[in-house]
Amino acid sequence: MMREMPWRGAGVAIPMFSVRSEADLGVGEFLDLKLLVDWAVESGFHLVQLLPINDTSVHGMWWDSYPYSSLSVFALHPLYLRVEALSENLPENIKKEIREAREQLDGKDVDYEAVLATKLSIAKIVFEQEKDLILNSSSFHKYFSENEEWLKPYAAFCFLRDFFETSDRSQWGCFSCFTEKKLEKLVSKDSLHYDIIRFHYYIQFHLHLQLSEAAEYARNKGGILKGDLPIGVDRNSVDTWVYPNLFRMNTSTGAPPDYFDKNGQNWGFPTYNWEEMSKDNYAWWRARLTQMAKYFTAYRIDHILGFFRIWELPEHAMTGLIGKFRPSIPLSKEELEREGIWDFDRLSLPYIRKESVQEKFGASWTFIVSNFLNDYQKGCYEFKEDCNTEKKIASKLKMLAEKSMLLESEDKIRRDLFDLLKNIVLIRDPEDASKFYPRFNLEDTSSFQDLDDHSKNVLRRLYYDYYFYRQENLWRQNALKTLPALLNSSDMLACGEDLGLIPACVHPVMQELGLIGYCHVSDSGFVFPSQYSYMTVCAPSCHDCSTLRAWWEEDEERRCRISRTWRGLMQFLPVNVFQIWHISSQGNMLKLHQCGQSSLFRIC
């Protein structure tokens, strides 16, 4: 009896803003997905993967074009609205305005601010003409009843953001702290601002209709849409306003140093209060997945490592180096004392000596000392109170630069001062002074190098134990509590983005839960795709990299290396591959990936 071949599929990954057509208004729109689906299905693809599509309108400027910093994890982004589809009876003057705007905004690059402003301006005019008809319809009432739990706070937040001209709720007076009573007053039909609230309802309703139409079209064509679940939310978001207890607002999310960035990454999102989230069985997460499932058949879990442990930084940090894993088992004061480690201030405070300041700053070293440092004994310095964090340093430097007092570039001085600040061996827990965490790459610091051999050996051993051994069971148990809440919330196919510094427990847990992982070409070495396991998404690039074509054409050194590597493996390819082998090496790469064992193949 013939064994049935396991299912395999292929797809394409693309940002929503790049799905352009002749009908769009300066940016890809949800209804443009229908054309992309047509192309994908005709090309033999089953799946179209999008970057996050939630509203990111926090700052009211081009910064908001970053799709991973959500204003709301439920609301869709107005940027992707097709204003022409708001009504079948658009007045001729509106049609003319749309045509003129389309011609003006049809550039190679998306003018984020102009496109969004134009769409909202046109939508407000149409809203005034259509609001009673649409908002009194049975379809809107059904939509509203299914979504009001998030829709009303979202509309209220947007109103307050625009009224106070900031998303920083600390500037909102009595509305800084969310309550249901205040919300109901804002969204009441008797409110003076009710039409503004209703406008946001109206926009979200039409976005829902347009994305639903595209998703249904894909399913009818035999394809599916795959969404993206970002790991974080913006610090100034609807979700942190409504559910502040679910977030650790005095912290920031990031990633430890890696090949790409020796300083680590600081994404600026508050970390999650998992203990609080568990009290209602992760209802906020379950609601997110339920909402996504209305449009998507599969989804990518961004930074799945964050469900095992997250790299947590203090809110005052700007770079990503001085962090700790949460949850994690710290080094206790007693544990360190048993090992003969006693001077905790020496290890946990910046180790700044006169020689290092002179070496970094040269002739301007005395200026640095007088403005940023205090000497507490001969040749030894500590940071002044007004510049003892990265944000304080950046703020003071900006002030000095405005007064033209800097002798070197602001960026260079900031980097060098940050280096001094990070010259520590242990990080003291801000919530418990008797607990410590080894600084990442502590051996690279002069603070470590100036220690005695006994201390070096002890701290080196404890460092590797902390990062690679003692946390494994804790992280495994944490993931087995959090991830099932997501997976059981919908029937969507889940794919976990498992890139970065990966703990040993991650892949066994993903296998246990039936989660698909990621494999892609990297600088660590070009692997033949047939070596990838079935439970993976196989791709020549990833969301953090340039597109396949771009890096192939721009990076000659890598292109030559991968060509040499894979040409040497041609003898292992099935014969039929050579029969359809393209002349271009780029085409060869695609064929190599398609011949792999992964269940999903994705191009970017």
In 3D space, the residue among 18, 70, 6, 11 whose CA is nearest the CA of residue 45 turns out to be 11
Q: What is residue 560's predicted lDDT score, i.e. its pLDDT? A: 74
Q: What is residue 139's predicted lDDT score, i.e. its pLDDT? A: 98
Which carries the bigger pLDDT value, residue 121 or residue 543? Answer: 121
Q: Are residues 217 and 82 in the same domain?
A: yes
Residue ending a domain, choose from 203, 238, 273: 238
Q: What is residue 602's predicted lDDT score, i.e. its pLDDT? A: 58
pLDDT band at 573 (very low <50, low <70, confident <90, very high): very low
* Bridging pattern class, strands 517-520 and 493-496: unpaired
Q: Are residues 53 and 161 in the same domain?
A: yes
Contact (Cβ atoms closer than 8 angstroms) between residue 58 and residue 167: yes
Q: What is residue 537's predicted lDDT score, i.e. its pLDDT? A: 84
Range of the domain at 214: 9-238
Q: At residue 386, does pLDDT exceed 90?
A: yes
Please, what is the end-to-end C-alpha distance for the chain in angstroms? 39
> Which CATH number covers residue 13?
3.20.20.80
The residues, any chain, with a CB within 8 Å of residue 205's CB and separated by 6 or more, are 134, 140, 143, 144
Q: At residue 425, does pLDDT exceed 60?
A: yes
Number of H helices, E strands in the chain: 23, 20
pLDDT band at 585 (very low <50, low <70, confident <90, very high): very low
487 domain-assigned: no
pLDDT band at 535 (very low <50, low <70, confident <90, very high): confident
Q: What is residue 501's predicted lDDT score, i.e. its pLDDT? A: 86
> Angle formed by the axes of helices 365-372 and 410-421, to 10°?
60
92-98: long-range contacts (C-beta < 8 A, 24 or more apart)? Answer: 94/122, 94/125, 94/126, 97/122, 98/25, 98/122
Provide the number of structural domains found in the chain: 2
Q: Are residues 84 and 216 in the same domain?
A: yes
Q: At residue 416, does pLDDT exceed 50?
A: yes
* Bridging pattern class, strands 331-332 and 432-438: antiparallel
Q: Are residues 63 and 175 in the same domain?
A: yes
- Least reliable range by pLDDT among 178-182, 267-271, 297-301, 599-603: 599-603
Backbone angles phi, psi at 297, to 5 degrees: -105, -15
503 domain-assigned: no
Residue ending a domain, choose from 456, 472, 488: 472
303 domain-assigned: no
Measure the CA–CA gap between 72 and 282, rounded to whole angstroms: 17
Which carries the bigger pLDDT value, residue 596 or residue 398? Answer: 398
516 domain-assigned: no
Measure the CA–CA gap between 498 and 537, rounded to whole angstroms: 11
Give the amino acid at 241. Answer: W
Q: Are residues 40 and 148 in the same domain?
A: yes
pLDDT band at 384 (very low <50, low <70, confident <90, very high): very high
The residues, any chain, with a CB within 8 Å of residue 531's CB and separated by 6 or more, are 596, 597
Residue ending a domain, choose from 454, 472, 490: 472
Q: Of the ranges 257-266, 501-510, 518-527, which is most confident?
A: 501-510
User: Mean of the pLDDT values across residues 578-587?
Assistant: 36
Q: What is residue 592's predicted lDDT score, i.e. its pLDDT? A: 47
Q: What is residue 581's predicted lDDT score, i.e. its pLDDT? A: 31
Q: Are residues 180 and 43 in the same domain?
A: yes
Q: At residue 601, does pLDDT exceed 60?
A: no
Q: Are residues 140 and 24 in the same domain?
A: yes
pLDDT band at 61 (very low <50, low <70, confident <90, very high): very high
Q: Are residues 47 and 178 in the same domain?
A: yes
How many other C-beta atoms can be found within 10 angstroms of the C-beta atom of residue 153? 23
284 domain-assigned: no
Q: What's the DSSP call for residue 54?
A: B
Q: What is the 3-state secondary structure (H, E, C) of 71-123?
A: CCCCCECHHHCCHHHHCCCCCHHHHHHHHHHHHHHCCCCCCHHHHHHHHHHHH
> Angle formed by the axes of helices 354-361 and 410-421, to 10°?
160
Q: Are residues 162 and 40 in the same domain?
A: yes
- Least reliable range by pLDDT among 437-446, 453-462, 557-566, 575-584: 575-584
54 domain-assigned: yes
Q: Report the percentage of the chain scoring pLDDT > 90.
A: 79
Which carries the bigger pLDDT value, residue 2 or residue 111? Answer: 111
- The token duo for 138 is 């049975």
In 3D space, the residue among 97, 288, 131 whose CA is nearest the CA of residue 199 turns out to be 131
548 domain-assigned: no
Q: At residue 21, does pLDDT exceed 70?
A: yes
387 domain-assigned: yes
Measure the CA–CA gap between 112 and 18, rounded to whole angstroms: 12
pLDDT in tens, 23-43: 999 999 999 999 999 999 999
On average, the pLDDT of the chain sits at 90
Q: Report the percentage of the chain scoring pLDDT > 70.
A: 90
Q: What is residue 587's predicted lDDT score, i.e. its pLDDT? A: 47
